[in-house]
């Protein structure tokens, strides 16, 4: 249990220390003069004692956070803050807009761990396919076909998400990620591109199902003003997982077959998932909504569904080829090695973390729709220019697309979960994902059949119109920032038996 001791020599500091704290981290109660315990906040145990003497005061804080796996990170970020109390209205860059309780923090932490595994498994095929094709034999057209076939895993995603509306989020989430890890390991033994496509169809389908369910768990469990923050956290954790693929990607420079052990690492992910899901509780909203009458359970707002699904289809037409074929472009058109690609992706994507932080704050405190629109425009401009520029300008354009485009993640993730009732939340999001996958297939096939001699630029520039159109369409959706799910979906408060 960490213990912090510091000296307070300033009169104002001593006076402040003798008052109970009430800020984004904790709300204290005074148990006796100079002794404080926690009444609300992220800590499972908290004792603060202030002893006044002739020259000032000594303050001792002993605490334990309710954050599994990632508690050390909170300690690192907040250690100085805990010695000097935050003002009540202060919201540091690392903090949500609304104070967490231990249950909220523990749920988010475990979801973040699962998101690391999902990020790793989801990034495998996109980051290694160009090398897989070089080893097994295949050009840009073959790679586009593999990626298109893999996206048929959307059928698996729909089934998993729909099952979660009946069997529960926790159980299906664990099944998806454990199964995806096993499928990734099977890819390591694939003798040809057809086998790679088949195993990755399962892996990506289950991983996408898990990603949907992670966002659903966050939406159903976290406070209303912190849902986009939670989505940003699991997106960052997913980015860390994807980055882990980059860490080992340079191994491929040592041998053409070295992509195989990278996929075999999926088995480690399966072990992590099994250990983590055991301690992840079912969402409270799902447990309450199990008592809804069946006619109510079937209700989905069709207008919302069509707008969100149509927007995601347009977005996917652009993002699928720009993300999935980026490595092929860098390798074949710009002559990058595996190590060079790793450096490029790390350098140009590191700013995306800052974009996620800023976007999650805007999305929670101001507007989901406005944040989403800004992200779409930034994504379109930055990524399309990357495929049309070279040298330092290409690096800058990619960084802009990463930083500004990051705004799409927390806003879209929150919107998709918030706009549909609890007992159809998984099903609706699974179907939306399938429509988005159809957009991905369209985009990949367009690029695969129009790009010749590694000239990606003109095609990508035309496709950049799609996310702009998506930004226009979303203005027809209701604003969801700071609103309870039951307010957005009144059917969740009706029909109880």
Which pLDDT belongs to residue 290?
Answer: 65
Strands 56-65, 35-41: pairing kind: unpaired
C-alpha–C-alpha distance, residues 431 and 338, integer Å: 36
Which pLDDT belongs to residue 256?
Answer: 86
Q: What is the pTM of this model?
A: 0.85
Which pLDDT belongs to residue 494?
Answer: 59
Residues 6+ apart with CB under 8 A from 208: 122, 153, 154, 157, 433, 437
C-alpha–C-alpha distance, residues 60 and 49, integer Å: 5
C-alpha–C-alpha distance, residues 391 and 399, integer Å: 13
C-alpha–C-alpha distance, residues 62 and 346, integer Å: 38
With b for 16 or more beta-carbon neighbours within 10 A and e for fewer, the 12-23 pattern comes to: ebbeebbebbbb
Which pLDDT belongs to residue 291?
Answer: 57
Contact criterion met (CB below 8 Å) for 410 and 231: yes
User: Measured at the alpha carbon of residue 32, what is the angle toward residues 31 and 37, in degrees to the nearest 5?
Assistant: 30
Which pLDDT belongs to residue 496?
Answer: 43
Q: Which residues pair with 292 in a beta bridge?
A: 496
Give me the tens of pLDDT residue by residue for the chain, a chain 497 residues long.
Answer: 788 999 998 888 899 899 999 998 899 999 999 999 999 988 889 999 999 998 899 999 999 887 899 988 888 887 777 877 788 788 888 888 888 999 999 999 999 999 999 999 999 998 888 889 888 888 777 887 887 788 889 999 999 999 999 999 999 999 999 999 999 999 999 999 999 999 999 999 999 999 999 999 999 999 998 999 999 999 999 989 998 998 888 888 888 898 999 999 999 999 999 999 999 999 999 988 765 555 555 578 899 999 999 999 999 999 988 987 888 888 888 888 888 888 998 899 888 888 988 999 899 988 999 999 999 999 999 999 999 998 999 999 999 999 999 999 999 999 999 999 998 999 999 999 999 989 988 998 898 888 877 788 899 999 999 999 999 998 889 999 989 998 998 887 754 43
- How far from each other are the two terminal CA atoms of the chain, in whole angstroms? 45
Which pLDDT belongs to residue 97?
Answer: 86
Residue spans of the domains in the chain: they are: 3-65, 102-492
Contact criterion met (CB below 8 Å) for 278 and 171: no
pLDDT in tens, 194-238: 999 999 999 999 999 999 999 999 999 999 989 999 999 999 999
405 by Cβ neighbours in 10 Å (0-12 / 13-18 / 19+) ranks as: buried
Tell me how far the alpha carbon of residue 188 is from its chain's centroid. 26
H or E stretch at 65: strand 56-65
C-alpha–C-alpha distance, residues 181 and 382, integer Å: 33
Tell me how far the alpha carbon of residue 433 is from its chain's centroid. 15
Query: Tokens 């707002």 belong to which residue?
Result: 301
H or E stretch at 25: none
Which pLDDT belongs to residue 152?
Answer: 87
Residues 6+ apart with CB under 8 A from 12: none
pLDDT in tens, 377-397: 999 999 999 999 989 999 999
CATH architecture of the domain with range 102-492: Up-down Bundle (1.20)
């Amino acid at each position: 249990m960490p213990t912090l001791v510091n000296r307070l020599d300033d009169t104002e500091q001593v006076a402040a220390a003798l008052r109970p704290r009430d800020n984004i981290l904790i709300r204290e109660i005074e148990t006796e003069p100079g002794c404080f315990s926690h009444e609300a906040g992220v800590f499972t145990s908290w004792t603060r004692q202030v002893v006044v003497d002739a020259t000032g005061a000594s303050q001792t804080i002993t605490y334990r956070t309710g954050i599994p796996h990632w508690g050390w990170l909170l300690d690192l970020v907040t250690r100085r803050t805990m010695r000097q109390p935050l003002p009540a209205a202060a919201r540091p860059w690392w903090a949500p807009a609304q104070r967490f309780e231990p249950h909220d923090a523990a749920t988010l932490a475990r979801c973040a761990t699962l998101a690391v595994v999902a990020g790793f498994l989801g990034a495998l095929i996109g980051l290694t396919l160009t090398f897989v094709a070089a080893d097994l034999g295949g050009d840009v057209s073959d790679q586009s076909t593999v990626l298109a076939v893999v996206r048929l895993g959307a059928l698996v995603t729909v089934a998993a998400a729909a099952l979660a509306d009946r069997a529960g989020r926790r159980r299906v989430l664990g099944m998806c990620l454990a199964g995806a890890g096993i499928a990734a390991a099977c890819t390591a033994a694939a003798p040809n591109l057809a086998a790679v496509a088949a195993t990755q169809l399962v892996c990506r389908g289950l991983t996408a199902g898990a990603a949907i369910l992670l966002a659903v768990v966050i939406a159903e469990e976290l406070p209303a003003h912190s849902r986009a923050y939670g989505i940003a956290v699991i997106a960052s954790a997913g980015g860390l997982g994807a980055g882990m693929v980059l860490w080992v990607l340079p191994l491929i420079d040592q041998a053409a077959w070295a992509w195989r052990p990278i996929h075999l690492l999926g088995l480690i992910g399966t072990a992590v998932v099994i250990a983590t899901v055991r301690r992840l509780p079912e969402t409270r909203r799902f447990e309450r909504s199990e008592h809804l009458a069946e006619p109510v359970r079937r209700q989905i707002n069709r207008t919302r569904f069509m707008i969100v699904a149509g927007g995601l289809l347009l977005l996917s037409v652009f993002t699928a080829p720009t993300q999935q074929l980026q490595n092929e472009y860098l390798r074949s058109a710009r002559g990058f090695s595996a190590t060079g690609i790793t450096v490029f992706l790390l350098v140009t994507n590191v700013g995306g973390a800052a974009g996620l932080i800023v976007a999650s704050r805007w999305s929670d405190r101001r507007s989901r729709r406005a944040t989403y629109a800004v992200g779409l425009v930034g994504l379109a401009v930055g990524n399309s220019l990357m495929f049309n520029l070279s040298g330092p300008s290409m690096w800058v354009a990619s960084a802009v697309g990463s930083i500004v485009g990051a705004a799409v993640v927390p806003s879209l993730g929150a919107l998709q979960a918030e706009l549909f009732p609890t007992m159809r939340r998984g099903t609706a999001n699974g179907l939306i994902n399938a429509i988005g996958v159809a957009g991905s297939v369209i985009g990949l096939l367009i690029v695969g059949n129009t790009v010749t001699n590694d000239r990606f630029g003109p095609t990508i520039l035309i496709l950049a119109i799609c996310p702009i159109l998506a930004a226009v369409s979303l203005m027809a959706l209701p604003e969801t920032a700071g609103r309870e799910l039951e307010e957005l979906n009144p059917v969740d408060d009706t029909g109880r038996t």
